Structure 1
Amino acid sequence: MNCIAKLVFASLVGAGLFAGMNVQAAQKPAAASKPGKAAIASSHQLATDAGLEILAKGGNAFDAAIAVGAALAVVEPESSGLGGGGFFLLHRVKDGKDIFIDAREAAPAASRSELWADADGKLDSDKATNGPLSAGIPGEPAAYVWLAEHYGKLPLKASLAPAIRIAREGFSVYSRLHRSIDRRSAVLSRWPASVQLYLVDGKAPEAGSTWRNPDIANTLERIARHGNDGFYRGEFASKLVDSVRASGGIWTLEDLDSYVVKERAPITLNYRGWKILTAPPPSSGGIVLGEMLNMLAGYDLAKLDQVHRVHLSVEAMRRAYRDRAEYLGDPDYVEMPINELLSPLYAAGLRASIHPEKATPSDLLPGYMPPGEPEHTTHYSIIDADGNMASVTKTVNLTLGSGFVVEGTGFVLNDEMDDFALLPGQANAFGLVGGEANAPKAGRRPLSSMTPSMVIGEDRVGVIGTPGGSRIITMVLEGILAFIDGDLPEKVVANPRFHHQYLPDVVSAEPKMFSRETIRALQAMGHIVNESERTWGLMNMVSWDRKTNTLHAGSDPREEMSSAKVQP
């Protein structure tokens, strides 16, 4: 038994707290007819339409996942793209297979901590977040090849065709894209190829103008023709490596050639009769989500007033986020006590430390700072007519990633190296600290909060996820609980949100989340409430009601271009 479980076991024996601590087993979903139609929710209408187009041509949810993702790489470069990576959670109907495809970026073989240190041995945030030294080896192109070869029905060329067309014909610049390029313009201005791709006369293209990207169309066509060889090997790979190294990066041809996507078993959780499939490491999302749900399973949340439901949720968030950084990392390199962290026994011990009327100051828990996490990511959810499902979250890390573009490629490289604890014990660009479990070493994949998930009940199924940095996991938690309570996706994605992540010891709340009376009650319990935060996240969810055989799709109203559609 792991040390944390032993400690909890001893505390429970002394306190006599074994009764009623088990999470209820999930019921096996009843057999039902196929939906007969499909539903897609994404952050851009052109991407949603691309997925529906591929479904209309005979593709399945996995072909559509390629089409939506590639279209987002074209129209939403601030959040994801061919220079980044992501996680793909899939459910295949024909054999009931649930699989998690890990296409997270990987550290180059030459990675060593001192590369990101300044003259005083401190972390140089500019090196960590800007330029090619900040870039890990991309995984998104390999994910599309893998999906087409192992799960799709159509050739990769067909699934990439809508994105290629959009890139050549152009699309209208929307306000978020304009703001993102404007915000990063000083960094983009450092490299001629970045200027050529993203700036017009030194400035961000105006909202409403037409933006074409023939270079990314050419890159996508190369991948369509040659698969991984069109990106990770040969002439194109040499171009990437030569440009990266000429500007201070450390990529090699071997780094690109050795990159592979990895299939992993999803985390399977059981909460009050619901089965939840979610992301395993190198995502921290599934473990943290599981810890929170296991703690909350000991309470009848439906019978609680808002103040106590929020209080208990915050206390569960606080404890789960505390564990996040200490134990989790790349599963291929780090041994993690996953079974113990997800055990009802451990959850009961954590629950026993929660006072029903008082906040637990985070500085009274064992000290640890969680690593930072980017906010500029994207998520999309798909259910096809046969009931196949895809929940996909992908990113380039910060807005427009590293800001570095290799000439003629049409995409920006990620700055995912900053998601590692580049210098263990020293604050990263977000002012937060990570540990050895998430240190940058050859081939390692950095810890992430991306939490693509599926919620499976006897009569209803939901596919959910969101961007939002370290707040992703709490957003998915709140979305899952709202869906279980009966909310449809259209409401789930629009609900106001709150968040706590251990440190800083503050309850963040979107505007209109709490009434004045609720805030006063939480403060009386000892919580610090930030009641005037901006909104966050861009959640996309689809669901299938098996009893009525109806589909629903919801896309976050916080974003002007978001799009959720059910086939007529």
Structure 2
Amino acid sequence: MKHHGFFLIAALLASPCLATQATPTTAADAAVQAARPGKAAIASSHHLATEAGFEILGKGGNAFDAAIAVGATLAVIEPQSSGIGGGGFFLLHRASNGKDFFVDARERAPAQSRGELWADAQGKLDKDKSINGPLSAGIPGEPAAYALLAARYGSLPLSVSLAPAIRIAREGFAVYPRLQSSIERRKPVLERWPASASLYLADGKAPAVGVVWKNPDIADTLERIAREGNDGFYKGEFAKRMVAAVRAAGGIWSREDLADYTVKEREPISLDYRGWRIVTAPPPSSGGIALGEMFNIIAGYDPDRYDRVQRIHFNIEAMRRAYRDRAEYLGDPDYVSMPLAELLSPLYAAGLRASIHPQKATPSDMLPGYMSPTESEHTTHYSIIDADGNMASVTKTVNLTLGSGFVVEGTGFVLNNEMDDFALLPGQPNAFGLVGGDANAPKPGHRPLSSMTPSFVIGKDRVGVIGTPGGSRIITMVFEGILAFIDGELPQQVVGNPRYHHQYLPDVVSAEPDAFTAEETRALQAMGHIVNAGERRWGLMNMVGWDRQSNTLHAGADPREEMSSGKVQ
């Protein structure tokens, strides 16, 4: 365990307002259990998915059944971002007993994984191997997650919850711009494999916007899962067919890899920030730990004492330090021993805060060195509150756009390329320019570190369900979104706010258009920050909220995507 200079004078700077791991039951928890909304709210990246969720609620399902319906529908209509060839995280709240649950459906490394498989002749990371084709694919977790949700949390059979997705796959849906452009972008990779080209290309081109696109193969696959549960995907003839195709194309899957896959139910991370309880993702997500560090750091500053520029400065410095730690210590909790209590300690945060100059940026190269990670931007998130107050915050992915680009003939879905989220070769950057160490190495059965950060924010009178895609920017987006919600903003305003981001390296503040005024940019630059103002927009945040004082629900769908849909009914 490394101990940095940050711990100096930590005990002196610790304050009672600092965030800590919350006790299991708080006054806010009791309020959540005491009331029910009477209506439901769903926000997702496509209106058909949102409608599928409400369809299942209308059949007597709860938020967890709706989470299956929304997720499976997105697997059909948003294959560029997620699908049953990938995985994800499911943060759940059960209203009947006030308990929170975290379902880890992250992909696993095949048993034959070893770093040199992804090296070129010079021993460098071969980018093509790490992001394209079946060698880049981990063992999918999403089908197992749906089977578990239906069996343990839902109130309807899996076949009912999967029915909307199966119907949409057979009847078809209109191709929309983001899907069309994603297929066009990955066309050179899709063309390598006949099954991929057959599924996603028409006469060698991406399908035109507005064309009705049907996918009977994925309908068949979902029906098999509906009938047979886990065994319909991970065992038997279907599994045998997938393994044969993967290995014939250069991959390393085995039937044992599939048969041995299980989702993990983990204890969520629970934090307290100024009287608000934040429930969020534990490892193998790095998001919850990073959020905890950031909130612990800024909790030591009274926001009423500072202007907006000063608060942004403190937020950026908190981001910088949390991202420095993010991959230094974190990995798959089933295999890696991590100093989580230390990282979430108010004393540790106080030491980090002591290194922040109130008027000057800290150059990242002045902090202790590390090796760092990332995650794809091509992910999806949806948020649900049902009429009883059950909640689901779900983030799932296939990693890069259309994952590995590899389709097993007749299955109807693309395999992920999550192996690139491992530190395949220590010290060498992955697709996002970030690197990692041994804690996130591609060892057999391990799950790669993730940025996905599905979260709940629970106050005395208001509750929010939040999350987003956005690659390494996911954590800072959720951080900023939670702060905005705590400040009183409604979900639609929260998800539409312009965003900024810092991740330690590169030592640059990325900012969407209008995130800062020209004056604010100059002020931050005067402090020593390198500000890239006016970058492209990022993320696709979806949030729902419940105001328990007025007993009203709100749904916010990110305006950055025209197909996004937030609805209350």
Spell out the pairing of 1:154-173 with structure 2 (5 A cutoff): 154-173=156-175
Q: Is contact 1:295-1:348 (8 Å) kept?
A: yes
**Aligned positions of 1:109-124 closer than 5 A:** 109-124=111-126
Match of 2:18 in 1: 22
For the residue of structure 1 that corresponds to 2:496, the secondary structure is coil
CA distance in 2, matches of 1:198, 1:317: 39
Could you tell me which amino acid in structure 2 is paired with residue 261 of structure 1? V
CA distance in structure 1 between the aligned counterparts of 2:206 and 2:537, rounded to whole angstroms: 24
CA shift for structure 1 position 303:
3.8
Report the Cα distance in structure 1 between the residues aligned to 2:291 and 2:372, rounded to whole angstroms.
Answer: 15
Question: Residue in 2 aligned with 1:130?
Answer: 132
Higher alpha-carbon deviation: 27-36 or 403-412: 27-36
CA displacement at 1:390 relative to structure 2 = 0.2
In the alignment, the residues of structure 2 paired with residue 194 and residue 18 of structure 1 have an alpha-carbon distance, to the nearest angstrom, of 56
CA distance in 2, matches of 1:490, 1:139: 31
Alpha-carbon offset, residue 214 of structure 1? 0.2
**Corresponding residue to 1:334 among 333, 336, 339:** 336
Compute the displacement of 1:12 (Å): 3.3
Q: Distance in 2 between matches of 1:118 and 1:453?
A: 39
1:368 Cα deviation after fit: 1.9
Deviates further, 293-302 or 459-468: 293-302
Q: Which of residues 390, 400, 403 is equivalent to 1:401?
A: 403
Q: 2:44 & 2:152 partners in 1: Cα distance?
A: 23
**1:368 alignment counterpart:** 370
Report the residue type matching 1:22 in the other structure: L
Partner of 1:447: 449
Are 1:293 and 2:307 an aligned pair? Answer: no
How far, CA to CA, are the matches of 1:18 and 1:98 in structure 2?
28
The answer as to whether partners of 2:508 and 2:529 remain within 8 angstroms in 1 is: yes
Q: What is the alpha-carbon distance in structure 2 between the residues aligned to residue 366 and residue 330 of structure 1?
A: 23
Residues 351-397 of structure 1, C-alpha deviations (whole Å, 9 max, x = no match): 01100000000010011242132110000000000000000000000
Q: Conserved in 2, the CA contact under 8 Å of 1:21 and 1:345?
A: no
1:436 pairs, out of 427, 435, 438, with 438
Q: Would you say how many aligned residue pairs link Structure 1 and Structure 2?
A: 563
Stretches of structure 2 that go unaligned for 5 or more consecutive residues are none
Is the contact between residue 495 and residue 541 of structure 2 (CA under 8 Å) also seen in structure 1? yes
Q: 1:354-393 counterparts in 2 under 5 A?
A: 354-393=356-395
3-state SS of the aligned residue for 1:417?
A: helix
- 1:229 and 1:278 mapped to 2: Cα distance? 30
Give SS of 2:293's match: helix
Alignment of 1:21-100 (within 5 A): 22-23=18-19, 27-29=26-28, 30-31=30-31, 32-100=34-102
Query: What's the offset of the Cα at 1:429?
Result: 2.6
Distance in 1 (CA, whole Å) between partners of 2:398 and 2:2 is 36
Who is 1:425 aligned against? 427
198, 201, 213: which one aligns with 2:200 = 198
Q: Does residue 1:276 correspond to 2:299, yes or no?
A: no
* SS in structure 1 at match of 2:270: strand
Amino acid at match of 1:54: I
Q: Indicate if the aligned counterparts of 1:4 and 1:340 stay in contact, CA closer than 8 A.
A: no
- Measure the CA separation in 1 of the matches of 2:511 and 2:170: 41
2:148 matched residue in structure 1: 146
Which amino acid is 2:500 matched to? F
| Maintained 8 Å contact 2:72/2:162 | yes
Structure 1 range deviating more: 419-428 or 102-111:
419-428
Structure 2 distance, partners of 1:10, 1:43, is: 45
- 1:466-477 alignment runs, 5 A limit: 466-477=468-479
C-alpha separation in 2, matches of 1:167 and 1:533 = 36
Q: Which amino acid aligns with 1:420?
A: F
The answer to whether the 8 A contact 1:107-1:444 is kept is yes
Distance 1:428 1:211 in 2: 33
Distance 1:124 1:236 in 2: 30
Residue 352 (str. 1) matches residue 354 (str. 2): yes
Please tell me whether the aligned partners of residues 47 and 565 of structure 2 are also in contact (alpha carbons under 8 angstroms).
yes
Q: What is the alpha-carbon root mean square deviation over aligned residues?
A: 1.2
Rounded to whole Å, the distance in 2 between the matches of 1:123 and 1:442 is 19
Aligned to 1:265: 267
On the 8 A contact 1:267/1:279 being kept in 2, the answer is yes
- Look up the match of 2:3: 4
Residue 107 of structure 2 contacts residue 138 of structure 2 at CA under 8 Å; is this kept in 1?
yes
Q: Post-superposition shift, 1:225?
A: 0.2
Q: How does 1:177-326 map to 2 (within 5 A)?
A: 177-326=179-328
Note if contact 2:374-2:451 (Cα within 8 Å) is conserved in structure 1.
no
From 536, 541, 544, the equivalent of 1:534 is 536
Can you list the C-alpha shifts for 1:230-285, whole angstroms capped at 9, x where unaligned? 00000000000000000000000000000000000000010000001000000000
Q: Please state how far the C-alpha of 1:11 moved relative to its aligned partner.
A: 3.6
Question: What does residue 512 of structure 1 align with?
Answer: 514
Q: CA deviation at 1:306?
A: 1.3
The structure-2 alpha-carbon separation of the partners of 1:504 and 1:8, relative to structure 1 and needing over 3 Å to count, comes to closer
Residue 448 (structure 1) shift = 0.3
Query: What letter is aligned with 1:169?
Result: E
2:53–2:67: 8 Å Cα contact kept in structure 1? yes
Distance 2:372 2:118 in 1: 20
Quote the Cα distance in structure 1 between the aligned partners of 2:251 and 2:510: 37
Hey, what does 1:497 align to over in structure 2?
Answer: 499
Q: Give the partner amino acid of 2:19.
A: V
Say which SS state the counterpart of residue 217 (structure 1) adopts: helix
Aligned mates of 2:10, 2:111 — CA distance in 1: 45
SS in 2 for 1:493: helix
- The question of whether the paired residues in 1 share the 8 Å contact of 2:17 and 2:274 is answered with no
**SS across alignment from 2:555:** strand
In 1: Cα distance, 2:218 partner to 2:558 partner: 27
Deviations 1:47-97 (A, max 9, x none): 000000000000000000000000000000000001000000000011222
After superposition, the Cα gap between the structure-2 partners of 1:467 and 1:18, relative to the gap in structure 1 and judged at 3 Å, is closer
Residues 21 and 344 of structure 1 are in contact (CA less than 8 Å); yes or no, is this contact kept in structure 2? no
Shift of 1:461: 0.4
8 Å CA contact 1:60, 1:153 repeated in 2: yes
Tell me, in whole angstroms, the C-alpha distance in 1 between the residues paired with 2:82 and 2:378: 8
1:107 alignment partner, one of 106, 109, 114: 109
How far 1:540 moved relative to its partner? 0.3
C-alpha distance in structure 2 between counterparts of 1:472 and 1:18, whole Å: 28
Native 8 Å contact 2:90 2:102 kept in 1: yes
Structure 1 alignment gaps of length 5 or more: none
- 1:491 is aligned with what amino acid? Q
SS of corresponding position for 2:13: coil
Sequence identity (%): 76
- Aligned mates of 2:424, 2:35 — CA distance in 1: 50
TM-score, scaled relative to structure 1: 0.97
SS of the residue 1:47 aligns to: helix
